[in-house]
Structure 1
Amino acid sequence: MPCRTWSTSWQLIVIAAEAQARAELREKLPERLLEIAVDTRTGGRAEGIDEAALETEVRLIAEDYARAAQQTWVDRFAAELARDSGLAVQGLEAVTAALREARAETVVVTNELAGDRVLWTAGGLEQVAVEAEGLAEEDIVRRRADEALPAAASVSGAGLVMSGHLELTDGVGALLRY
């Protein structure tokens, strides 16, 4: 009997089908995928299925998932910051250093991150700093902090989450990989 290995980075599977089809699919899914599967209340191929209602339900499921995932990262960041483990930093200086060193796993931004704050980038967006002197490249560009940080996070492979309830130095923090 052949053995199947499921390797996926999927985070959410939405199953929209008639009840019997959903049940049959769930029987065949491996445990890892069952853990991330969510059924819709509507769906199927029968005549009269409300496509708009299905689209709305799928969108709401995805939004709920995204909100919960974001809150998980914020909670993890807050716990590491409170624990003073060295795996969470706050403030533009510390966060930009973590981004330059590719140590930031997730950048946490609050509403307090002011767009009028200036950061400097070089090498595309691979390098970001509070002071231009901290960068080695010659093609240094002045950017708004609220634009430069998300872009630098993306380039470095870090996640980005928003938090409305944390009070952070300069309105920004980072959960570190190591």
Structure 2
Amino acid sequence: MTDFNTRGVDHIGFAVPDLDQAHEFLTEVLGCVLGYSLPGGPGDDEWNRRQMHLPPGISMTGVKIYRCGNGANLEVLGFEGEDIRTEGPRNSDAGGHHVALYVDDLDEAVMKLRERGVEILGESMTNSGPAEGQRWIYFRAPWGTYFELVSYPQGKAYEAETDMRLWDPRDPAK
């Protein structure tokens, strides 16, 4: 237990090489809604290093905050400068990550992503054990961020074993 009250995840932030491309993908392909945009930060190297751990010569070009259904918001950050890495971490690398989005119909969602030319990784998988009842599949945004679609319309097997419940996008009030 912590000494402070963590209420939940407010947002997940990630950098993109092109804010306009990310905006189009998030709104037109994934159906997210733009909440607001912020201009870039100060170009001061010391401030950028202290506040965001940026190397010298890199500055923020802007920030966009999106809502994608229920759950945490997405904070998308743009940067410019000479020393920006263009290859993101793999899922297995330290700092590797993905953003999982719940959908009611996994097969329909995958079909629509394929129609849009989105890179789908492998085939949909069905979980066993405590996550039995869940299906999932990974895909990648045009700039390389990993996303996952998940669906468990009848719930997951762990729910029969305990009263504890993970947050559930099917019923966000619980």
- Please give the range of the TM-score, normalised by the shorter of the 2 chains: under 0.3
The structure with higher relative contact order (CA 8 Å, sep 6+) is 1
Query: When the two structures are superposed, what TM-score results if normalisation uses the length of structure 1?
Result: 0.24
The structure with more helix, counted as a fraction of residues: 1
TM-score by length of 2: 0.24
Instruction: Name the structure where strand makes up a greater proportion of residues.
Output: 2
